[in-house]
Structure 1
């Protein structure tokens, strides 16, 4: 029995080291410091890629504001997507034993999430969504540098854009990325919580905004690959200047969105980050939450903590 336990422990050790060196060799520029002092703010990852990006960027911004080190383990898909170059700890035990900090609202800036009372020689972990650009406003350029896509992801995204725009051969072509999320937002639990799905009328107005301003133009639609959602999208989004992206890994989709000139987003953090990285004009669906719903209470009173300054809200 004891021998079996020792063999199992040895097996786990070998696997852990193999994963470490695989990640290390793929990212030789990343520094994995071995530290024991307590002055860390750990990232707690949950949700999808867009959620992870908010959690990392906001924790990074808070840590910089408080002169702390970002404590992180390479468990997130961020490390298969971006050339993350900030220092982080491999020692999972540091974050497992850290004191928790929790936000009041997941889609609004919370001063208490930044200026929490710190004890000496104590690590902290932010178990929050932290979905507000205000958390990393002062280090935005550094965040953008963190979110540089891996070379292989960029290559695939570039080929995708090239193949989809080939029929629209023009040196002056303006490319608009359209991210339409429906999928899980249609289920009963999310509807009850307060989610509104973007309407066909909203998309028509958003398309008109760009068609009135650019020519030639092409809209590349990124959406859920299931039959029902594709059918809905193709009914409400059509025209000779519209193409639909085939199914790809989500990191490739986000990279492709970021390569477009401008963006139209519906709901969700994935579309938010694709638009943020694209840096062009962004049209967003402003009626994302039902009035007086639990979801609406997750935002600030005018939602300005969530939607990035300069983006244009339509409904």
Structure 2
């Protein structure tokens, strides 16, 4: 009896498990149908109705997992001064533009304070300003600080994060008109720049006939060349560049901008066609430089951006690095850095 009961009992137990499996399969099928036709759409509708809650760290990962598509993102580690950060933005914008991705700009980025840039996250995402820190960096010690073709062929089906210097017009030549339209100064900065610009010009009689040239003097340190191999532009170059414009136009006015005015006053002859612009913030200086007609830059990305934004004649110092130095090795070809048509001088 006992043995027979056990056999029957096992039979009935096996039958129960088979029924349970059938019920489980049916339940999973119904759950899949419910998710596909009802819950997933309900989730999408809910997210669209509440954009402020549309994304956070967990929902991004969850939506990726369940197959809700979004554009992949481009992050650039912004750093350095205003000129460097503008190069970072132009590079990141172009990568995202070419690959139909989204460049991430957070509210803490200084460019959103200086320019009319709308902070961009994953659409309305605004819960974690450091979201880019969670993405793997694109790193390769072989990358060129000027132009590197390898960066043109990165995948568009994954998030991309960049750290470094991408200082070449070649990356974004195709989109530079778009970039100039996007990089509009905030109204308060442009108003201050124009007000000071007009005040300076009012000191000169009949200034309408004067060709106005912006001069940006960058000094890295107290030495002409630092241990890394970066060269400061010598005073002879600056005087030579100003004489170039004096010979080109009948009347010139040079507006000189520099954080090293002590060096400038000591080394640049203070002739009647020179005005030293002092006491401004970096964005106001840059905005004033773009109001001039032409540019004399020394070295550095701030002066570079001034020339590119102004779009007049730009003269640059042709020896920014000591040959064979560590700094010179970061750029395989300076023509990839300096904009075509600009005028090299020494």
**How would you bin the TM-score normalised by the shorter chain?**
0.7 to 0.9
Answer yes or no: is the 8 Å Cα contact 2:144–2:332 preserved in 1. Answer: no
Q: CA deviation at 1:187?
A: 6.1
1:178 aligns with 2:199: no
- Of 72, 97, 114, the match for 2:152: 114
Q: Report the counterpart of residue 340 of structure 2 in structure 1.
A: 309
Answer yes or no: is the 8 Å Cα contact 2:112–2:119 preserved in 1. Answer: no
- The count of corresponding residues between Structure 1 and Structure 2 is 277
- Of 23, 34, 51, the match for 2:84: 51
Answer yes or no: is the 8 Å Cα contact 2:315–2:344 preserved in 1. Answer: yes
* Unmatched runs of 5 consecutive residues or more in structure 2: 1-50, 61-69
The more displaced of 214-223 and 97-106 is 97-106
CA RMSD between the two structures = 2.2
Larger radius of gyration: 2
Answer yes or no: is the 8 Å Cα contact 2:90–2:179 preserved in 1. Answer: yes
Answer yes or no: is the 8 Å Cα contact 2:216–2:298 preserved in 1. Answer: yes
Q: What's the TM-score once normalised by structure 2's chain length?
A: 0.75
Task: Report runs of 4+ in structure 1 exceeding 2 Å deviation.
Answer: 31-38, 85-94, 102-107, 184-188, 229-232, 235-238
Distance 1:70 1:246 in 2: 35
Answer yes or no: is the 8 Å Cα contact 1:32–1:87 preserved in 2. Answer: no
Distance 1:34 1:309 in 2: 44
1:261 aligns with 2:296: no
Structure 2 CA distance for partners of 1:287 and 1:95, relative to 1, 3 Å: same
Is the partner of 1:92 in helix, strand or coil? coil
Q: What's the TM-score once normalised by structure 1's chain length?
A: 0.82
Is the partner of 2:257 in helix, strand or coil? strand
CA deviation map 1:33-62 (0-9, x unaligned):
955346001121110111110001111111
Is the partner of 1:263 in helix, strand or coil? strand
Answer yes or no: is the 8 Å Cα contact 1:101–1:113 preserved in 2. Answer: no
Q: CA deviation at 1:76?
A: 1.9
Q: CA deviation at 1:162?
A: 1.3
Distance 1:66 1:175 in 2: 40
Q: Report the counterpart of residue 284 of structure 1 in structure 2.
A: 316
